[in-house]
Homo-oligomer: A and B are copies of this chain.
């Protein structure tokens, strides 16, 4: 890439007198006939199973759309969901379609709306505009010109994505006001309470018809263990939701502060730990498997004891 994304885009807009972005949200059930005919022309014996053949047809469909509409456009916007629903072959079709757009002089925007805690945001950045170091050498990412990102997790979650984008000469589009009707309730309402309360009420309402025999709802909530002071209020707002509690261990959350999560039922709180189990050997020494088994068992016993004291039943 020779210049930064905004400048590449600006030059292309002026050159093509166009601001149009071709959205590619391929639906395998509504592909252009030509995308299917190519396989038929090959005798119908294309290699691979259903996912591979479907992803191949999706890639051909996108290439045909790029060839037809591309000259009036400056970029394509590839909807990640439509590719990843086809599994590994779909991910290959996504990479192939980015290449096809580039070959036709278009910029590629991957519409992925990714957003996660900082360490995970770095992994998403590697997938989109970077590469991943590993034991056999680096694994290249998609190398897209730009991507969309969700800002729900805040500034520290956006920064790794933005830093990686800028380093790669790429751009990032942050969701500010989305186009769907339901955006109004979360994004526009004159707010009377913090966002987490708005979201907690929404989760409780959406889950109220999915309560099982256990008394727990199929609509749970991610509620970080790093803010245990909020848990009692969140439990009050979502009495039947299963809380998934990340942040114990490496992020500093303490299990003994999680009582309110377990109040309705022993299964109403799930304590999620990654590094503190899988990397336990770096603190404890010894074999990774033995260290992980010991760390998991200690966490189990600790959480079970807290839950036993806190569960009062639904």
Contact = CB atoms under 8 A, between A and B. Distances in A.
Interface in A246-284: 246-247, 251, 253, 262, 265-267, 269-275, 277-279
A77 B274 contact: yes
Contacts of A181: 156, 226
A69 interface: yes
Nearest to A75: B270
A209 to B, nearest CB: 8
Given A9-B214, A53-B136, A69-B277, 9 more contacts: A18-B303, A21-B270, A28-B133, A64-B288, A69-B296, A150-B152, A155-B185, A177-B234, A188-B196
Interface in A296-314: 296-297, 299-300, 303-304, 307
A293 B71 contact: yes
Q: Which 9 A-B pairs have the closest CB atoms?
A: A179-B224, A23-B274, A28-B134, A156-B182, A179-B247, A154-B182, A10-B214, A6-B216, A68-B289
A88 B89 contact: yes
A285 to B, nearest CB: 14
B25 A274 contact: yes
A97 B117 CA distance: 22
